[in-house]
Amino acid sequence: MDLRFTPEEVAFREEVRSFIAENLPPEIRERGRLGYKPRKQDIITWQRILNAKGWAALSWPKEWGGPGWTAIQRMIFLEENLSAPAPELLSFNITMLGPVLVQFGTEAQKKHYLPRAANLDDWWCQGFSEPGAGSDLASLRTAAKREGDHYIVNGQKIWTSTAHNADWCFCLVRTNPNAAKRQEGISFLLIDLKTPGVEVRPIISIDGSHHLNEVFFTDVKVPVENLVGEENKGWSVAKYLLGNERTGIARLGTSKYAVRHAKEVAREVRMNGKPLIEDRAFRVRVAQMEVDTKALEITQLRVVSAYVKSGGNKPDPISSVLKIKGTELLQNSSELVMDVGGPQAMPVWQQELAALTNEPDIGPDWGAQMAPAYLMLRAASIYGGTNEIQKNILNKAVLGL
């Protein structure tokens, strides 16, 4: 197997890198460099810049605004974008909803929602998980009862990322509580979050940020034309979406950036009277991380090449390896960054407190987000299907155990 990039792919990487360098607004770049999460408006601004270039709808067909890239080009783009570091495209719109509508949506749904999703005119969120239905998603209970030309939705979702920023939510709902198999009574519904009866409540996570929410539905009226695919066939839609969700989940660019950032800061931080970068134990740790990053990069290339060779029709279960290894690397590299920061890796609220009390800033800018990023990334092995579940998939589908 030839794992080298072709000259065209090398040129493509250069093109992407210079476009990002020339077009990423400096303020957004600086926040990313210091490890801050992009704000809502930063994500919208950057996605619209990419969309104007024709680069937002990554994997969609050309007729619906996609750039017509190969899987390798998509991988290169994602890596360059993350390691810039630039805000990620909103995955709910681009990786999840878009391909689902292309595959299962009506013409009217495609025409209305796809361009708006690409340009982030609508911010989507994912209403799958419920209390008691996470890994075992098929046990979800949020009910949608058909009444004339509407469904009446009642129930609760949880861990709904960015629902407080969102305009719309794509939801899995139970339309047939009496189906012989739990999977057979589920439908995929598009819900406008401004509809009366929808309530979004924040969940504050360990890093002090508001990313997660609970979403409650009380007699929410949803027009039947918002059903995607057939009634009670939403499980196939969900499986298709979850397969796509794993694409790019390794977020290799983020780990690469973290290691680079740790090395930069280690030139400034001193230990035993010398810059930390000169410490032997530290250098060994960085070298190990760089080897792990390279190994994951090669594995990712192998998975993508095999996917391309197979005709690229459905996600390969081996991509679970990328989820497991990618998230382990994300967690390890954020730990490396935090260790480099040492006592400076303090949460941002301490700096905000200093500002409020007119005290001098505590610690350098580069330290402010180290601990929060480390804490938030503990969740990476849970979201997108936990790493234990990925191991089950590998056991069954790849090892045949």
Ligand X SMILES: Cc1cc2nc3c(=O)[nH]c(=O)nc-3n(C[C@H](O)[C@H](O)[C@H](O)COP(=O)(O)OP(=O)(O)OC[C@H]3O[C@@H](n4cnc5c(N)ncnc54)[C@H](O)[C@@H]3O)c2cc1C
* Residue 217 in the binding site for ligand X (CB under 6 A): no
Residue 253 contacts residue 82 (beta carbons within 8 Å) = yes
- Cα–Cα distance between 45 and 52 in angstroms, integer? 11
The question of whether 130 is a catalytic residue gets the answer no
Q: How big is the site for ligand X, counted in residues (CB under 6 A)? A: 19
* Residue 123 in the binding site for ligand X (CB under 6 A): no
The residue annotated as part of the active site, out of 63, 245, 290, 352, is 245
- Cα–Cα distance between 49 and 315 in angstroms, integer? 29
CB-nearer residue toward ligand X: 161 or 299: 161
- The angle formed by the CA atoms of residues 255, 257 and 263, to the nearest 5 degrees, is 105
- The angle formed by the CA atoms of residues 130, 135 and 137, to the nearest 5 degrees, is 55
CB-nearer residue toward ligand X: 361 or 388: 388
Radius of gyration of the chain (CA): 22
* Residue 126 in the binding site for ligand X (CB under 6 A): yes
Tell me which of 159, 217, 240, 257 binds ligand X, using CB under 6 A. Answer: 159
Binding residues among 350-389 for ligand X as defined by CB under 6 A: 379, 382-383, 385-386, 388-389
- Cα–Cα distance between 65 and 295 in angstroms, integer? 34
Q: What are phi and psi of 8, to 5 degrees?
A: -65, -40
Indicate the residue type of 251.
R
Which span sits near ligand X by CB under 6 A: 146-154, 157-165, 239-247, 273-281? Answer: 157-165
- Cα–Cα distance between 140 and 174 in angstroms, integer? 7
- As measured in angstroms, the least distance from the Cβ of 289 to ligand X is 23
How many Cα neighbours within 13 Å face the side chain of 246? 28
H-run or E-run covering 174: strand 168-174
Q: What are the residue ranges of helices labelled H in 193-318?
A: 234-245, 252-268, 280-309
CB-nearer residue toward ligand X: 161 or 187: 161
* Residue 185 in the binding site for ligand X (CB under 6 A): no
Tell me which of 109, 161, 319, 344 binds ligand X, using CB under 6 A. Answer: 161
Site string for ligand X, 224-263 (x = CB under 6 A): ----------------------------------------
Residue 82 contacts residue 251 (beta carbons within 8 Å) = yes
* Residue 135 in the binding site for ligand X (CB under 6 A): yes
* Residue 392 in the binding site for ligand X (CB under 6 A): yes
Which span sits near ligand X by CB under 6 A: 3-11, 37-45, 156-164, 290-298? Answer: 156-164
Give the bridge partners for 254, in sequence order. Answer: none
Distances in Å between the Cα of 60 and the Cα atoms of 74, 82, 103, 400 are 11, 20, 10, 32
Which span sits near ligand X by CB under 6 A: 4-12, 126-134, 262-270, 302-310? Answer: 126-134
CB-nearer residue toward ligand X: 39 or 210: 210
Tell me which of 64, 77, 128, 257 binds ligand X, using CB under 6 A. Answer: 128
* Residue 160 in the binding site for ligand X (CB under 6 A): yes
* Binding site residues, ligand X, CB under 6 A: 125-129, 134-135, 159-161, 212, 379, 382-383, 385-386, 388-389, 392
Residues recognised as catalytic: 245
